[in-house]
Structure 1
Amino acid sequence: MIFTLNLAGQRWEVHIAQDELETVHLPLLKEITQKAELQAGRYLVALAGPPGSGKTTLGALWETLAREYQPGIPVQCLPMDGFHLPNTELDRRRIVRNGETIPLRKIKGAPESYDLKAIKQAFHAVRMGKELAWPKYDRQIHDPIANAIPVLNAGIIFIEGNYLLLDEPDWQEFHNYTDLSIFVECPEAVARERLLARQQRGGRAYQAAVQHYEFNDLPNWQRVMRHRLPGNAILTMNEDGRLGRI
């Protein structure tokens, strides 16, 4: 089936095989909806996985499926990219990579480039049912914009990000804020193809995209896949990009 999704303000057509829809997405959404209906307020779901695993697309797809197949309970997907430190701060801070001291901006997208204090405050506010707006990452100016996305007061809230199940200090606690966690396993070859395509769509030449992938995206993919907490549900992606469920 073809679904038209809103991805970061752009409309994309995504093809989902009927058997994947019926065996993965709809059953999972039904399970989450049934659990969410048992409690008042927000039901928080962490959607984690390495770079290139399609988390943003999944979140948008599930929002669409909820409107079409699960009426009566609202669904919202919130991205973690808005919690990147501003470029001015990334330029100011330094980090050692491969024995070289470099600006943190050179590894933008790594866990160190996020504002952990702001993330914890936002998660706590969402968990406590407070009214708030969520930041978003603007890919035109390549910087976060504060208070850009009003958060639903009730319903299913998916929060998608690479590091929400990262088994490292300061990140380990985030799964405690959520009611359910989902991890998407993605082969490195698929992640590479997707991320190179994304970089080239953004204007990078192929060789520059490869260099960016090997210096930034690949270490992040390895870090997430090798150091993660167990999720309540595991989705696995094959070499064709189709999803199954363990």
Structure 2
Amino acid sequence: MGVIENMTPFMTFNRQEWAKLRQSYPMEVTPEEIERLKGVNDVLNIDEVADIYLPMTRLINLHAIASQELYRSRNIFLQKQEKKVPYIIGIAGSVAVGKSTIARVLQTLLSRWDTDVKVDLVTTDGFLYPNAELENRGIMNKKGFPESYDVHSLLKFLEELKSGKSHVEAPVYSHLTYDVIHDEKQVVTEADIVIIEGINVLQPPKRAEGEYDDQVYVSDYFDFSIFVDAEEVNILHWYVERFKTLRETAFRDPLSYFKKYADLNDEEAYHMAKDIWERINRKNLHENILPTRHRADLILKKGVHHLVTEIKMRKL
């Protein structure tokens, strides 16, 4: 039998094809809200919401309804009392690719499909080990790599969500102090949808020798997953530009972990950001993040201007 060319588990849409799938779903986000939702140096406008994110939330809403029906049917089969179990969406991708903005947009749009829908957003940054623990383990320079997360606690959190527990707590992270906030918790209560956003959420666990084992994956708890993709040259540019912007804003806060970079000039800031990227983020991208791209249900490919140019949707 000959090799089948272009065999892929995904259907590919360009921006125009994808935008048509919005159908008649109304625009319920104002320009002012869009401005509040976007992250540092991200590009987000009415057209991006209408063409990309409205069709996406329509698709996710259809999946969530079908999932709820299947869950109810299974409970009937098992003769179990039905519990409220949230539909969980995972969002993965590189640093500086715009995951947080997309997560906030989805949270806003999905919460407006129905007046009774409660959508919570949890970032996996809170499940990083505290800096003191990272220092103790000698992996402070690998912050954001899979080994820097308390995966056991993250799995426990997801297990509690999927078991129907009504009150579930997640740790909170401060990007200002660059550390987990001691004794502060985010409480997820009676959520219909929970969005889990983080660079490595599609990463399987590894054995010491680098081979995957048969443990439970974080992504095993996801009902739907999204990977935000872009060419590395663009991500590097966005990372450097974000670093420069933060140098003039958040880094100037006396409590900022990165206050030492606040007085760098443009050339110094460029070289510092590029050095951090090369030593840490690029390695994490190629070793841990990119290999998980095709585990997602939906891949959003961004172009040079930070706008989505192509969508890949996994076939059923």
Q: What is the TM-score normalised by the length of structure 1?
A: 0.84
Q: Which letter maps to 1:15?
A: L
Say how many residue pairs are matched: 234
Match of 1:25 among 53, 60, 67: 53
Match of 1:211 among 262, 270, 275: 275
Do 2:40 and 2:242's aligned partners in 1 also have CA atoms closer than 8 Å?
A: no
User: Is 2:256 aligned against 1:225?
Assistant: no
Matches of 2:117 and 2:199, distance apart in 1: 26
Higher-Rg structure is: 2
Matches of 2:141 and 2:42, distance apart in 1: 32
User: Is 2:35 aligned against 1:4?
Assistant: yes
User: Is 2:302 aligned against 1:237?
Assistant: yes
Deviations 1:54-105 (A, max 9, x none): 1111111122223456543222221010111111111111xxxxxxxxx311
Matches of 2:241 and 2:90, distance apart in 1: 26
User: Is 2:226 aligned against 1:160?
Assistant: no
Match of 2:148 among 113, 129, 151: 113
In structure 1, the partner of 2:25 is: none
3-state SS, counterpart of residue 108 of structure 2:
helix
| Structure 1 unmatched runs, 5+ | 94-102
Matches of 1:84 and 1:65, distance apart in 2: 28
3-state SS, counterpart of residue 26 of structure 1:
helix
3-state SS, counterpart of residue 181 of structure 1:
strand
Task: Classify 1:74/1:87 alpha carbon distance in 2 versus 1 (closer, same or farther; 3 Å).
Answer: same
Matches of 1:221 and 1:191, distance apart in 2: 10
Task: Classify 1:152/1:28 alpha carbon distance in 2 versus 1 (closer, same or farther; 3 Å).
Answer: farther
Do 2:43 and 2:305's aligned partners in 1 also have CA atoms closer than 8 Å?
A: no
Matches of 2:56 and 2:37, distance apart in 1: 21
Matches of 1:187 and 1:11, distance apart in 2: 19
In structure 2, the partner of 1:99 is: none
Deviations 1:217-244 (A, max 9, x none): 1111222113445211111111211113
Q: Which letter maps to 1:236?
A: K
Shift of the alpha carbon at 1:181? Answer: 1.1
Hey, which of these two has a bigger chunk of strand by percent? 1
Once the two structures are aligned, what percentage of the paired residues are identical?
A: 25
Matches of 1:125 and 1:160, distance apart in 2: 18
RMSD: 2.6
User: Is 2:178 aligned against 1:149?
Assistant: no
Alignment of 1:60-79 (within 5 A): 60-68=104-112, 71-79=115-123
Do 1:84 and 1:114's aligned partners in 2 also have CA atoms closer than 8 Å?
A: yes
In structure 2, the partner of 1:82 is: 126
| Structure 2 unmatched runs, 5+ | 1-29, 69-83, 207-212, 252-260
User: Is 2:45 aligned against 1:16?
Assistant: yes
Matches of 1:123 and 1:184, distance apart in 2: 22
Matches of 1:120 and 1:5, distance apart in 2: 31
Q: Which letter maps to 2:162?
A: R
3-state SS, counterpart of residue 5 of structure 1:
helix
Shift of the alpha carbon at 1:184? Answer: 1.2
Deviations 1:151-193 (A, max 9, x none): 1413111101111112452787121111111111121122112
